[in-house]
Amino acid sequence: MDKPFWQTKQLWQMTPQEWESLCDGCGKCCLLKVEYEDTGEVEPTSVACKLFDSETCRCGDYANRFTHVPDCIDLSQTDLGALPWLPRTCAYRLIGEGLPLQWWHPLVSGDPGTVHAAGVSIRHRTISEDDLADEADLIRYVVDWQL
């Protein structure tokens, strides 16, 4: 049997459809982060982008996301090596590093729910940045989620 595309193609060789299907739906790249001025260290918070839907664990308007959130990062146009905060479980990072997808990845399991069942996603674990009273409060939401 032929191997699936994620085992045979480099990221840059994938079609747009293949590229999009590689996202596991964990939502972790949609968390706001804190960067410490003195060390440059970046830590995630439990505060998600205003467009993030915590129920579906997906972007609320993916097709038009750059209109709403101009600084949203288009991973397909970015050197992933320049994003050290990209979660270790992120499929783009795994494939880019020559590592396999895990059993819970929807492409492997055939079930979009396994990323949640395995506890890998941030579904139901976040608040929206719109609910932050003051941006300076963000540091209070730093989490140790071992992303």
* Contacting positions for ligand SF4 (CB under 6 A): 23-30, 49, 51-52, 59, 65, 69, 72, 75, 87, 90-92
Dist CA 18 CA 138 (whole Å): 35
Nearer to ligand SF4, 107 or 137 (CB): 107
Nearer to ligand SF4, 92 or 141 (CB): 92
CB of 107 to ligand SF4, least distance (A): 11
Determine how β-strand 31-35 pairs with β-strand 42-48: antiparallel
Nearer to ligand SF4, 47 or 51 (CB): 51
Handedness of CA 95, 105, 69, 42 (dihedral sign): negative
142 φ, ψ to 5°?
-60, 135
CB of 39 to ligand SF4, least distance (A): 23
